[in-house]
C-alpha cells in the first residue's frame, strides 16, 4: 500500500503541467482595407481566444463580422476595433456591410 501511495505521489509531482498552447490568448490583429481589399485576407485564431481586430480603411465603411454579428463604422485614417471572445468555431466572413463585398475571412479553430 505504501508503494502505491508513493507511486501516486510521484506521478502527481512529476506529471507535465497544462500545455500553454491550449491556453486562451489575447490576439490583437491589424487589418488594412485599401481599394476594397483587406490585408491579411485570412485570420486564424483558436476557440477561447480574446480577439481585437483593429481595422483601418482608405474609405468610409461599416465592417461586419458574420457569425458573431459584430458591426463597426470605419472612418478613413481612424482605426476601429472589433473586440470579442472567439467562442464560436468555424469560418466567418468579414464584409463591407454597405456594399456587401466580402473583404476576408476569420477562421476560429476548435481547442
pLDDT for the residue numbered 77: 87
Position 13 confidence tier, pLDDT thresholds 50, 70, 90: very low
* CA pair distance 48, 51, nearest whole angstrom: 9
pLDDT for the residue numbered 21: 57
26-72 per-position pLDDT tens digit: 999 999 999 999 999 999 999 999 999 999 999 999 999 999 999 99
Domains detected in the chain: 24-109 (2.60.40.420)
Q: Of the candidates 42, 52, 44, which has an alpha carbon nearest to the alpha carbon of residue 85?
A: 52
pLDDT for the residue numbered 7: 47
Amino acid at each position: 500500500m505504501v508503494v502505491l501511495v508513493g507511486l501516486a505521489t510521484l506521478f502527481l509531482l512529476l506529471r507535465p503541467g497544462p500545455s500553454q498552447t491550449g491556453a486562451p490568448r489575447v490576439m490583437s490583429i491589424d487589418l488594412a482595407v485599401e481599394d476594397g481589399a483587406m490585408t491579411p485576407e485570412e485570420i486564424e485564431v483558436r476557440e477561447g481566444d480574446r480577439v481585437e481586430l483593429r481595422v483601418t480603411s482608405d474609405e468610409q465603411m461599416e465592417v461586419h463580422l458574420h457569425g458573431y454579428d459584430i458591426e463597426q463604422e470605419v472612418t478613413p485614417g481612424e482605426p476601429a476595433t472589433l473586440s470579442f471572445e472567439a467562442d464560436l468555431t468555424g469560418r466567418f466572413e468579414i464584409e463591407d456591410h454597405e456594399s456587401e463585398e466580402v473583404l476576408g475571412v476569420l477562421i476560429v479553430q476548435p481547442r
